[in-house]
Amino acid sequence: MTDRTRDNAFLFRQPILNQKNELAGYELFLRRSGASADERSSGAALCAVYADLGMRSALGHRSAFIGIDAVFLHQEAIELLPHEGVVLELLIDDIPDKEMLSRCRTLCERGYSLALTDYRGIDDRSRPLLPIVDVIKIDVQTADESQLRDLAGSLRRLPIKLLAQGVDSHEQLERCRKVGFQLFQGRYFAQAEIVSGRRLSASQTALIRLINLVGLDVDTPVIEDAFKHEPALTLNLLRVVNSVGHRGSRYAQPVTSLRQAITLLGRRQIQRWLSLLLLAPENGSADPSGSALLQVAALRGRMMELLVEATRVHDRKLSDLAFLAGILSMMPIALGLPIEEILQQITVDRDLWAALCLHEGLLGTILALLERFDGDDAAGCDELLAQVAGGLNHHTLNTCLSAALRWLNENGG
């Protein structure tokens, strides 16, 4: 892929999680329709897109893993990347020569972190790089449990983080965790067994009840009374409102009244907040915002909103529905229920129901587009872009990704 074709490629991302199941970063790569799943973009094109979209500030404290081949490794342009927040993945198949090793040491001295991909054991290729790299990536799809144990064991005494690539189930995650991996790449956290008729927990039922009330045209005292039966949610609501106030310097005094909090935050924002809480894990986590699933849902919601605005700038109602569509589309994973059964319990707009259940209308098409985007399906994205009126293209989608990541970062994600 040349630099001239980068505007016709999609900026895809694969999440990388730490041992606490928190998002630690993303592997970023460019792909266009017709390219094979193994075809990587040139490092130069990816670095250019990374800079053009302002991905450093968009990702915040999370790292961007960027593939660098043996040719681009020696180019000065690589040092236009910030040394903080970027991990350079060495896409090297051959035995490294003295010039390559010297270049790697120079990059390390200048603050860059290096990762060695496709590790298959200590051999002539990996041995000279082990004292230099910070991360070793092992493809779990090509190794059984015994092989993973041997590969990880050979590195146990070295100050190197092990990254399991291609983790697509919780079972694989646990196997990798047991043998010493610290980082996990894949969408296993977005996989769940969907079971019709599954019983929801008491807290999930309470959240659904509140989402319905906030979405209906009921008086504020009715919503206030419902919150009073959920003291933990009431406390969290007051914290959210006061946090927003302090950042925006809007409130001279802390908000202590529940009714005032509901009025100040507004029903639209409360509905969004409650919907996101429904995606948080029920594990007693002190900070549910650390949930990778919640962050991915918020990111999809924001991208839905931005893409609708790019096609219908003045349609505020549709933009609001777009954000909810993005969040609700992830609820089957969080709740383990089919979307049809979830929507039997949550009152939603007809257009929103059609988008979620049938992928109909503008919302449904954009939702399908983002599902393909999350699945690294370039051909599917191109097909759906052609169906969206309003002139969406590769650049629009990539720009909305950067803007949504920045929004997530700025809002504590």
Judgement on whether residues 169 and 47 belong to the same structural domain of the protein: yes
CA atoms within 13 A on the CB side of 53: 27
pLDDT at 383: 94
CB 373 within 8 A of CB 10: yes
Burial of 84 (0-12, 13-18, 19+ CB in 10 A): exposed
Judgement on whether residues 33 and 176 belong to the same structural domain of the protein: yes
pLDDT at 3: 47
Domain of residue 270, residue span = 202-281
- Where are the extended beta strands (E) located within 168-251? 183-185
Burial of 216 (0-12, 13-18, 19+ CB in 10 A): exposed
> What total of structural domains would you count in the chain?
3
Residue 197 belongs to a domain: no
pLDDT at 111: 93
Alpha-carbon gap, residue 185 to 183, rounded angstroms: 7
CB 92 within 8 A of CB 100: yes
Judgement on whether residues 134 and 270 belong to the same structural domain of the protein: no
Given 281, 314, 342, which residue is the final one in a domain? 281
Judgement on whether residues 158 and 50 belong to the same structural domain of the protein: yes
Residue 160 belongs to a domain: yes
Residue 206 belongs to a domain: yes
Contacts of 5 (CB under 8 A, 6+ apart): 32, 45
3-state helix, strand, coil in the chain (%, to 5): 55, 10, 35
Judgement on whether residues 163 and 55 belong to the same structural domain of the protein: yes
Residue 195 belongs to a domain: no
CB 91 within 8 A of CB 165: no
Contacts of 89 (CB under 8 A, 6+ apart): 27, 65, 66, 67, 68, 114, 115, 116, 117, 137
Judgement on whether residues 57 and 130 belong to the same structural domain of the protein: yes
Residue 377 belongs to a domain: yes
Judgement on whether residues 258 and 347 belong to the same structural domain of the protein: no
Taking the CB of residue 202, how many other CB atoms lie within 10 A of it?
7
Instruction: Map residue 10 onto helix, strand or coil.
Output: strand
* 187-234 per-position pLDDT tens digit: 888 877 788 888 888 888 889 989 988 888 789 999 999 988 888 888
Residue 196 belongs to a domain: no
- Is the pTM value of this prediction over 0.85? yes
Judgement on whether residues 179 and 232 belong to the same structural domain of the protein: no
Judgement on whether residues 213 and 355 belong to the same structural domain of the protein: no
Given 281, 311, 339, which residue is the final one in a domain? 281
Judgement on whether residues 292 and 318 belong to the same structural domain of the protein: yes
Residue type, 286: A
CATH of the domain at 100: 3.20.20.450
Q: Which parts of the chain have pLDDT scores under 50? A: 1-3, 246-249, 284, 286
* 8-58 per-position pLDDT tens digit: 899 999 999 999 888 999 999 999 877 655 555 678 889 989 999 999 999
- From 305, 326, 289, select the one nearest 22 (Cα to Cα): 289
How many residues belong to the chain? Answer: 413
